[in-house]
Structure 1
Amino acid sequence: MSKVMKRTGLPYTASKKSLGRRLKNNYIGWLFILIAAAGISLFYFYPMIRALLLSFQSGMGANLEYVGLENYIRLFSDPTFIAALTNTFIYLLVQVPIMIVLALFFSVLLNDATLKFKGFFRTAIFLPCVTSLVAYAVIFKYLFGVDGLINKFLMDLSIISEPLNWLSDPFLAKITIIAAITWRWTGYNMIFYLSALQNVDRSMYEAAKIDGASSFQQFFYITVPMLKPIILFTSIISTIGTLQLFDEVMNITNGGPGNATLSISMYIYNLSFEYSPDFGYAATVSYVIVILVVLLSLLQFKVAGDDK
């Protein structure tokens, strides 16, 4: 009797067929994995590596030559890049916290079992994030125009006496961009929090209420700790999205006035297509976004106390 028969108690031919079936299934599984891995490598990792190599090159159009770290050194003396980096950080430090707080507020409010028409309100707040980026940006451009509805509304309330040049003033233009991206993405983050709140045991709130905890205490000692992983996740994706901000700046202010609202992504676009094409330096600036995403994500993990 063969070793296979002794071990399995099956005839040799049956055991051989079973082994062949398992090997065939393994080959099919590996084939699916290899196809996906090849696609990811071709469309994600290969362009990333090419962009990294490109960041060490310089020249007009396709006439490129390797210049070492010259492009990276150039960043520190480039006033346009410094302006774009400063603007992007202003958007990040102002807009992301406001959006996270608003999303938390709306999610808690719309999770109330006694609230009527919850479905309508949830849809209304989430709806902006499924609208066309270009369409909503153009609408905001007209809303905040000199003759737009925002100025008319503020004048009707006697808050201002004459129309404000929202898109021509450096400070007001930044406020317009922040208002636009906050309006669009608050509902997107709210859905994550609302989904997480569905899994929080209501008995925890009932026990806290019996112990005399106020609504604010319940929020800070139950809701926020339970939503900590989701808050971390939304903070990271919001940070990544803000560092890649392009459509709103392009369609509302076109980076103006001057470079007052210019973002890093729009500067990359300008370097590649608006100015004399400098793809090497554009790739260098794009890798600044990669570095910032990694550093800020690690910082957020550290602040959140997540060592996993």
Structure 2
Amino acid sequence: MALHAPEVRATPPAPPAAPPRKPGRRRRALLPWMFAGPAAALFGLFFLYPLGASLIQSFTTEQDGATKWVGLDQYRRMLDDPAFTDSLLNTGLILIVQVPVMIALALLLAGLLNQSWLRFRSTWRAIYFLPAVTTLVAYAVVFQVLLKTDGGLANQALAAVGIDTVDWLNDPTWARVALIASLTWRWTGYNAVILLAGLQAIGKEQYEAAAIDGASAFTTYRKVIVPQLRPVILFCVVTSTIGTLQLFDENYVLTRGGPDNATLTPVVYLYKVGFQQLDFGYAAAIAWVVVVIIAAISCAQYFLFGRERRR
């Protein structure tokens, strides 16, 4: 009798493992906020909240220890405030005189630092940029010592050549001159480095083409270089203007805004109103007027750069 082997049935294959579940759409949308959330919270707490609070405060005043809503009275008050008017006029004078002189000197300095025959160019660039990294208060104190009426280095140099002593910090006219000189010293090298970067972006073939056409160095600079540097020059002018509107450290350390409000600027006046007179509502209104002026200049900058891109 034949023996038969037991029938072996094939085991069916195991079903494939289910793929891992992907995070839901809502969870994926929340992931960026999990990383940006702390920074956004800090930004709102330390920037947006004070900004909104100062705007509301500019429509209020303190009377008998209570906050009172006064609407636009604080802004109308500025129209009849001679000190605020003086601060705007002083700022306008600095803009008209100091910014063009500084940009012209920065252009000349950038052109010099771009020359191939100049040795130790990197060292010279670092030297001229050094004032920009000096702390504002430190360099203002140095100028205060240099411009002292009695024993200051500037008056000693003038006396050495037979010129009478100048009261740099106590005469309204000379105080403005001292402030403009200190600002020019600090920011000329900074703008020169920015303009130098623009100069180095201009191809050498354009200089060679101008030389072949017989253009002099001055004509090449005026007809070839300056037009191509226009966006960079505009950037330097606008940032310098914004910095001047925010001017505080230099004139406060040098002259405290005096003499006779000759060097008073809106930010120095804001500080005096807010922290010396404790009139925080009016100080907030001054701050917002400065913000509006700076915003208007920034919009002009955007418009001019946009026009450059469309050409």
Calculate the TM-score normalised by the size of structure 1: 0.86
Q: What is the SS of the residue equivalent to 1:306?
A: helix
The one-character-per-residue Cα deviations of 1:91-139 (angstroms, maximum 9, x if unpaired) are: 1221111111111211111011111121221111110111121111111
Letter in 1 for 2:299: L
Offset, 1:13? 5.4
**Could you tell me how far 1:225 is from its partner in structure 2?**
2.3
Contact kept, 8 Å, 2:231 with 2:308, in 1: the verdict is: no
Name the residue aligned to 1:115: 118
Match of 1:79 among 77, 82, 86: 82
Paired residue secondary structure (1:59): strand
1:193 aligns with 2:195: yes
In structure 1, what is the Cα distance between the partners aligned to 2:91 and 2:17? 69
What corresponds to 1:149 in structure 2?
Answer: 153
Q: Deviations over 1:149-203 (max 9, x none)?
A: 1122123234x2x201111110100010111111111111122112222222111
Please name the residue that 1:272 is paired with.
274
Distance (Å, rounded) in 2 between the aligned partners of 1:66 and 1:296 = 30
Change (3 A) 1:208 1:69: same
Aligned to 2:4: none
Task: Report the identity percentage.
Answer: 43
The answer on whether the counterparts of 1:61 and 1:279 sit within 8 Å (CA) in structure 2 is no
Residue 306 of structure 1 corresponds to 307
Partner of 1:294: 295
For 1:91, the aligned partner's letter is I
SS in 2 for 1:45: helix
Matching residue of 1:169: 171
Letter in 2 for 1:286: A
1:251 corresponding residue in structure 2: 253
Displacement of 1:249: 0.9
Pair 1:220–1:297, CA change in 2 (3 A): farther
Correspondence for 1:230: 232
Is contact 1:170-1:257 (8 Å) kept? yes
CA distances 1:238-261 after superposition (whole Å, capped 9, x unpaired)? 111100100111111111112111
Contact 2:84/2:266, CA 8 A, preserved across alignment? yes
Alignment partners' CA distance in 1, 2:64 and 2:229: 49
Partner SS state of residue 66, structure 2: coil
Q: CA deviation at 1:296?
A: 2.8
Residue ranges of structure 2 left out of the alignment (5+ in a row): 1-15
Please identify the structure whose Cα radius of gyration is greater: 2
Partner of residue 264, structure 2? 262
Assess if the C-alpha contact under 8 Å between 1:189 and 1:234 holds in 2.
yes
Paired with 1:166 and 1:245, the residues of 2 have a C-alpha distance of 19
1:124: which partner in 2?
Answer: 127
Name which of structure 1's ranges 84-93 and 164-173 shifts more when overlaid on structure 2. 84-93
Say which SS state the counterpart of residue 260 (structure 1) adopts.
coil
2:9 paired residue number: none
Gaps of 5+ in 1: 1-10
Q: 1:82 to 1:148 in 2, by over 3 A?
A: same
Letter in 2 for 1:134: V
Partners of 2:148 and 2:168 within 8 A in 1: yes
The TM-score with structure 2 as length reference comes to 0.86
Residue deviations 1:58-99 (CA, integer Å, cap 9, x gap) = 116963211000001000101111111111111122111111
Check conservation: 2:144, 2:254, Cα contact below 8 A. yes
Task: Tell me by how many angstroms 1:35 deviates.
Answer: 3.6
Aligned residue for 1:209?
211
* 1:55–1:284 CA contact under 8 A, matched in 2: yes
Alpha-carbon separation, structure 1, partners of 2:152 and 2:279 = 38
Does 2:44 align with 1:41? yes
Contact 1:84/1:259 (8 A) holds in 2: yes
Q: Tell me the amino acid that sits aligned with residue 192 of structure 2.
A: M
Cα separation, 2, equivalents of 1:112 and 1:13: 69
* Secondary structure of the structure 1 residue equivalent to 2:307: coil
CA distance in 1, matches of 2:233, 2:27: 44
1:281 matches 2:279: no
> Structure 2 counterpart of 1:99, which letter?
M
